[in-house]
Amino acid sequence: MATITLKNIPADLHRQLKKRAEEHHRSLNKEIIATLKSATSGTIPFDPTKLEESVRRARSLFRRPITAREIDRWKREGRL
């Protein structure tokens, strides 16, 4: 396998990558590789149709329909 050495990485970028690695339970090296693969894959990171289906399923779990207005209010309040 090839090796790459990165120099002069901005401190804030380094912190963000370390945080992402921790969130994904990966080493920093593996997180950087996953990020590079994602950035160079040429594919959309998510399928909008599948996302819509997922949202509809989640909404159906509520006892009453949830409106877009309610979701927007929750976002403003920091609940989502």
Q: Cα angle vertex 73, ends 67, 74, to 5°? A: 95
Mean pLDDT of 9-25: 94
Reported pTM: 0.51
Kindly list the distances between the CA atom of residue 70 and the CA atoms of 15, 52, 54, 78, in Å, as whole numbers in the listed order: 34, 17, 18, 12
DSSP state of 29: H
CB 31 within 8 A of CB 20: yes
pLDDT band at 28 (very low <50, low <70, confident <90, very high): very high
Mean of per-residue pLDDT scores for the chain: 88
Mean pLDDT of 50-78: 87
Task: Give the whole-angstrom CA distance, residue 14 versus residue 18.
Answer: 6
Q: Which amino acid is at 41?
A: S
